[in-house]
């Protein structure tokens, strides 16, 4: 995902669409088709900017068939996985099944999983382990709620989430890790953290990775921002030196809007 050029790491931006619990398997095919056509029409360079979608589990087989059949350059992954590989875990989906469906990435610890399903940092640590066992790149979601932000504890809170979730893994194991910073108060609310807030937290996360592992490792890891990202604000948010992409919720359900977000470089007016 990350290459080295003249001794400097060049992080390939990632625009990721988290569909959440939207789009049945038929709608998923229509959305992926329209997204691919729209990006093709815009001559999207996937080598330059990676584009991934995270549909519900029941859509993944259809998405795989389409992506493979039409040789699409889109990547796709799941919104969650079980920490276990098989057995009596009713309702859960293991990483091995996702890998067989061609998933390359998996979201771990989205704030809705943390809040609605009570997922703890300790559980997320085991989910990262499961993702790594099946060669799925973990997209670890972190971020603070409004009360924590207002109390001024957002940096400490978010860094503690990062440290706990990554505990026990080596830099080699985490080579494909992606971290998504999503302030919970900005998710689906229309409120976005300012570009300075996104940069502040991304820089703090990178510094934490350097402290836990090495500067080289920290410089290779992509850090995304999520929370009410749209085509109108994506360029400003991604202008931060440490912000390497976006995890997009609502706006990823509209193919044209999501394609515009993926084409964020075209909106940069400097």
Ligand X SMILES: O=C[C@H](O)COP(=O)(O)O
Annotation: binding site for substrate? 18-20, 188, 228, 249-250
Query: Least distance (Å) from ligand X to the CB of residue 105?
Result: 13
Total binding residues for ligand X by CB under 6 A?
Answer: 14
Residue 136 near residue 104, CB atoms below 8 Å = yes
Interface with ligand X, residue 240, by CB under 6 A: no
100 vs 191, beta carbon nearer ligand X: 191
Catalytic residue among 135, 163, 182, 256: 182
Tell me if residue 182 is catalytic.
yes
In the bound state with ligand X, the residue whose beta carbon lies nearer, of 95 and 250, is: 250
Residue located via tokens 């389409």: 66
CB-CB contact of 223 with 202 (8 Å): yes
Q: Which stretch binds ligand X (CB under 6 A): 21-29, 182-190, 216-224, 260-268?
A: 182-190
Catalytic residue (choose from 110, 112, 144, 176): 110
27-31 contacts at long range (C-beta below 8 A, 24 or more positions apart): 28/55, 28/56, 28/59, 28/62, 28/63, 29/62, 29/63, 29/66, 31/253, 31/255
Site for ligand X in 34-93 (CB under 6 A): none
For 168, phi and psi rounded to 5 degrees? 95, -10
Residue ranges in 44-168 assigned as alpha helix (H)? 60-69, 95-100, 111-116, 121-133, 146-150, 154-166
Strand, coil or helix: 224: strand
Binding mask 186-225 for ligand X (x = CB under 6 A): -xx-------------------------------------
Nearer to ligand X, 213 or 249 (CB): 249
Where does this chain touch ligand X (CB under 6 A) — which range of 34-42, 44-52, 97-105, 249-257?
A: 249-257
**Could you tell me which of 103, 51, 46, 49 has the C-alpha nearest to residue 79?**
103
CB distance 74 to 36 below 8 Å: yes
8-11 vs 137-142, strand pairing mode? unpaired
Residue 235 CB, shortest distance to ligand X, in Å, is 16
To ligand X, the closest distance from the beta carbon of 178 in angstroms equals 12
Q: Which of 11, 13, 15, 18 binds ligand X (CB under 6 A)?
A: 18
The residues that touch ligand X, with contacts defined as CB under 6 A, are 18, 110, 182, 187-188, 226-229, 247-251
Which positions are annotated as active-site residues? 110, 182
């Amino acid at each position: 995902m990350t290459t080295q050029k003249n001794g400097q790491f060049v992080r390939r931006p990632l625009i990721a669409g988290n569909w959440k619990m939207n789009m049945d398997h038929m709608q998923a095919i229509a959305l992926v088709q329209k997204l691919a056509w729209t990006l093709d029409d815009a001559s999207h360079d996937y080598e330059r900017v990676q584009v991934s979608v995270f549909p519900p589990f029941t859509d993944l087989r259809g998405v795989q068939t389409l992506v493979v059949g039409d040789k699409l350059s889109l990547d796709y992954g799941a919104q969650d996985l079980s920490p276990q590989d098989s057995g009596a875990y009713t309702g859960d989906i293991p990483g091995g099944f996702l890998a067989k469906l061609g998933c390359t990435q998996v979201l771990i610890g989205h704030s809705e999983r943390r809040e609605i399903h009570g997922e703890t940092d300790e559980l997320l640590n085991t989910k990262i382990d499961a993702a790594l066992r099946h060669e799925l790149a973990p997209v670890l979601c972190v971020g603070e709620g409004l009360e924590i932000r207002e109390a001024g504890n957002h940096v400490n809170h978010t860094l503690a989430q990062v440290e706990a979730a990554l505990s026990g893994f080596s830099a080699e194991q985490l080579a494909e890790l992606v971290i998504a910073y999503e302030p919970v108060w900005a998710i689906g609310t229309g409120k976005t953290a300012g570009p300075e807030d996104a940069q502040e937290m991304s820089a703090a996360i990178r510094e934490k990775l350097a402290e836990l592992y090495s500067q080289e490792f920290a410089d290779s890891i992509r850090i995304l921002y999520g929370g009410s990202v749209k085509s109108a604000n994506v360029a400003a948010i991604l202008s931060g030196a440490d912000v390497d992409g976006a995890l997009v919720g609502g706006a990823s359900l509209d193919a044209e809007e999501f394609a515009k977000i993926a084409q964020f470089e075209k909106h940069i007016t400097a």
